Structure 1
């Protein structure tokens, strides 16, 4: 008995991924090319669904595509130590922490600008002044 297959639309719906993104993942090798039907339509298997779900979850967590590629390669070898996976996740966490620090600085700058606003005229607006090029 053959296992059920999915069309690209069904795969997209099942994973919340745009069809164009699925094609991109195929083109870049993150998702293997599926078999084709007699009518030359893509026929995705459960393995494609699982792999795409993995990619989506990793992307939702902010992993860049190159790290997703590395994680997939490591996940494909179930007997390996997971230390390399831990290293990738730790590197990503450091990047997330850096972004959080940068966003906190940005928030402080915006708070400062907003606090200086006296809600007068645009001509007196400190926010517009801070955004405008120095003349």
Structure 2
């Protein structure tokens, strides 16, 4: 359970910049604690603001929800958890670098196709030819 507070979900959303439906989703999947209720309203506290801010920053860095869960658990571990956090971050960094390499390759192919289109030397569309090159022939 979360710390008691007088903040409703709309205020939590405004303070963190997180969509209300996203907050509810994070609660359903266990990334955020299910809040106490005051009548029919969810009631959040400062701890919830901090936790949601942590989640948002981690997601902005591209961490998966599973990685976010792991980081949240490690966040309470103090200095001893630092090596484990480093491992999660190093693995994520390797994935980011792989995606950058993929995007760089895609950029090169697209730039070459656009240049070929601009040149107008080929009556067929160079991009469509490039895409069709991988298609099976009848």
TM-score normalised per structure 2? 0.85
Residue of structure 1 in register with 2:70 after alignment: 70
Structure 1, residues 101-134: CA drift from partner, whole Å, max 9, x if none?
00011111111111211465xx632223333456
State the alpha-carbon separation in 2 of the partners of residues 90 and 118 from structure 1.
Answer: 41
Partners of 1:52 and 1:124 in 2: CA distance = 52
Q: Which structure 1 residue ranges, 5 or more long, are not aligned?
A: none
Report deviation, 1:77. Answer: 2.4
Name the structure 2 match of 1:21: 22
After the TM superposition, which of the residue ranges 124-133 and 47-56 deviates more from structure 2?
A: 124-133
TM-fit CA distance, 1:4: 4.8
Alignment of 1:40-55 (within 5 A): 40-55=40-55
Kindly report structure 1 stretches of 4+ aligned residues shifted beyond 6 Å. Answer: none
Say whether the 8 Å CA contact 2:74–2:81 is kept in structure 1. no
Does the CA-based 8 Å contact 1:71-1:85 persist in structure 2? yes
CA contact (8 A) 2:117 2:125 kept: yes
The alpha-carbon distance between structure 1 residues 79 and 90, as it changes in their structure 2 partners (threshold 3 A), is: closer
Corresponding residue pairs, total: 132
2-structure distance, mates of 1:82, 1:116: 50
Alpha carbon RMSD of aligned pairs, Å?
2.1
Contact preservation (8 Å) 2:16, 2:53: yes
Which runs of 5 or more residues in structure 2 are unaligned?
none
Q: Who is 2:88 aligned against? A: 88
Task: Calculate the TM-score normalised by the size of structure 1.
Answer: 0.87
| Aligned equivalent of 2:37 | 36
